[in-house]
């Protein structure tokens, strides 16, 4: 069954007009939602812990910035824009003691609710608005008069108005311009984790590295390997994004097409699908979430070691040098920019 799709005509921003919304956290999604809603005439305050470096940034944008507990007390709708594994501590310390049945909790990802790292009372509305893009893109497209598609979900609805709040929020951040799709916390969480792990991040990263290693170990120059397995990937992804897989094939050479349809399935074969199914099962039964929570509570040693090893892969050094020769490629500061509370 296809998802229900909402557009501009289905959402009323006035639903938020007489309410104060608090954005808890001012990282990637938090800053984008806050700025877009503020420009739509919604009263937005920011909740942060006292030592947060984001306080100055938020104040510079003209927001009232409060300690988290104070923001929770003042607000009617609370957008918890805090990293997944920090939500539990923030919720227990600064959010839960100040909740009541008149407040709405809003999330941009279902992890904390679905895996029950927090368990709110049943007397309040709990909704999700999950843009299908990073915060900087949510902000950029909004300013351009466009929008990032989003998912909405209702987890609890004692007021019987939760969906209208979620749709109003989606409209306020620009997502109804592109289409808003109804889902559940369970479906969003499990499919999002699966996509990140097996295709979009984990799958693509590992495929690129193995392709690079194969060419270099066979005696080809590292620069040639970089261009063929990484640099040109953007062209292919853009074509797929614009026209689908068949549309991409329309734009490439006959030789590339033949290699695509005959060799690709031999590389990504049924054994890969079986491992994808195993990864999905680990997401569904909570094993991945439990492993990640344990890693976080243990100090992130393995996590940091794996990231550091990835940064030392030879393709990173070759890529950095080659990208420096291409001034048209937009650089992003990747040090110290992780979305934070």
Q: Please name the residues in contact with 47: beta carbons below 8 A apart, sequence gap of 6 or more.
A: 22, 23, 24, 25, 65, 66, 67, 68, 69, 70, 71, 72, 75, 78, 94
Token pair, residue 16, equals 């938020």
Dihedrals φ, ψ of 183, to 5°? -145, -160
Pair of tokens at residue 302: 């393995």
Specify the pTM.
0.92
Nearest Cα neighbor of 149 from 185, 176, 186 is 176
Q: Which tokens is 191 given?
A: 């499919």
Q: What is the pLDDT of residue 282?
A: 98
What is 91-159 written as a DSSP string?
IIIIIGGG--TT-EEEESSSHHHHTTSS---TTSEEEEEEESS-HHHHHHHHHTT----EEEEEEE-TT
> What is the predicted pLDDT for the residue at 335?
55
> Strand order of the sheet with strand 77-80?
5-6, 180-182, 150-156, 125-131, 104-107, 77-80, 20-24, 43-48, 64-67
Question: What angle (nearest 5°) sits at the alpha carbon of residue 11, between those of residues 10 and 14?
Answer: 145
The CA distance from 81 to 341, in Å, is 8
- Nearest to 91, CA basis, from 64, 122, 66, 117: 117
User: Tokens in use for 172?
Assistant: 């306020």
User: pLDDT tens, 20-35?
Assistant: 999 999 999 999 999 9
Sign of CA dihedral 260, 261, 263, 266: positive
Using the 8-state DSSP alphabet, how is residue 312 labeled? T
From the list 109, 136, 231, 294, the catalytic residue is 109
Q: How many helices (H) and strands (E) does the chain have?
A: 16, 9
Q: Report which of 108, 123, 177, 113 is spatially closest to residue 148, judged by C-alpha positions.
A: 177
Instruction: Classify 258 as helix, strand or coil.
Output: helix
Q: Give the pair of three-digit tokens for residue 32.
A: 């984008």
Q: Which pLDDT score, from 0 to 100, does residue 1 have?
A: 77
pLDDT score, position 330: 79
What is d(CA 171, CA 48) in angstroms, rounded to the nearest whole number? 25
Query: E strand or H helix at 44, and its extent?
Result: strand 43-48
What is residue 329's DSSP assignment? S
Residues 6+ apart with CB under 8 A from 245: none
Number of other CB atoms surrounding residue 68 within 10 Å: 26
> CA-to-CA distance for 68 and 70, rounded, in angstroms?
5
**231 belongs to the catalytic site:** no
3-state secondary structure (DSSP) of residue 5: strand
pLDDT at 337: 44
Would you state the pLDDT for residue 333?
A: 62
Tell me the C-alpha distance between 301 and 77, whole Å.
36
pLDDT of residue 327: 86
Q: What is the pLDDT of residue 340?
A: 55
Local confidence pLDDT in tens for the 341 residues of the chain:
788 999 999 999 999 999 999 999 999 999 999 999 999 999 999 999 999 999 999 999 999 999 999 999 999 999 999 999 999 999 999 999 999 999 999 999 999 999 999 999 999 999 999 999 999 999 999 999 999 999 999 999 999 999 999 999 999 999 999 999 999 999 999 999 999 999 999 999 999 999 999 999 999 999 999 999 999 999 999 999 999 999 999 999 999 999 999 999 999 999 999 999 999 999 999 999 999 999 999 999 999 999 999 999 999 999 999 999 998 887 776 654 444 57
């Amino acid at each position: 069954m296809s998802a229900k799709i909402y557009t501009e005509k289905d959402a009323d921003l006035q639903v938020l007009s007489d309410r104060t919304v608090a954005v808890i956290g001012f990282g990637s999604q938090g800053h984008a939602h806050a700025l877009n809603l503020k420009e739509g005439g919604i009263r937005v305050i920011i909740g942060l812990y006292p030592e947060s470096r984001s306080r100055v940034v938020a104040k510079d944008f003209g927001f009232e910035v409060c300690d988290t507990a104070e923001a929770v007390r003042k607000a009617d709708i609370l957008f918890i824009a805090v990293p997944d594994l920090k939500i539990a501590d923030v919720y227990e310390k600064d959010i839960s003691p100040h909740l009541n049945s008149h407040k709405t909790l809003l999330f941009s990802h279902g992890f904390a609710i679905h895996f029950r790292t927090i368990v709110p009372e049943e007397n309040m509305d709990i909704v999700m608005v999950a843009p299908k893009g990073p915060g900087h893109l949510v902000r950029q497209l909004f300013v351009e008069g466009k929008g990032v598609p989003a998912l909405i979900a209702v987890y609890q609805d004692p007021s019987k108005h939760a969906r209208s709040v979620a749709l109003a929020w989606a409209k306020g951040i620009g997502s109804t311009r592109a289409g808003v799709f109804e889902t559940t916390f369970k479906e969003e969480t499990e499919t999002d984790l699966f996509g990140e792990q097996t295709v979009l991040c984990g799958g693509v990263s590992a495929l690129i590295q193995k392709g690079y290693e194969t060419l270099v170990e066979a005696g080809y120059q590292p620069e040639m390997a970089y261009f063929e397995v990484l640099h040109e990937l953007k062209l292919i992804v853009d074509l797929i994004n614009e026209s689908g897989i068949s549309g991409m094939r329309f734009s490439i050479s006959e030789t590339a097409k033949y290699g695509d349809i005959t060799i690709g399935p031999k590389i990504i074969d049924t054994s890969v699908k079986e491992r994808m199914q195993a990864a999905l099962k680990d997401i569904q039964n909570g094993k991945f979430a439990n492993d990640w929570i344990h890693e976080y509570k243990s100090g992130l040693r393995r996590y940091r070691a794996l990231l550091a090893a990835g940064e030392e892969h030879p393709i990173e050094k070759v890529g950095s040098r080659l990208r420096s020769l291409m001034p048209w490629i937009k650089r992003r500061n990747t040090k110290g920019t992780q979305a934070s509370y």
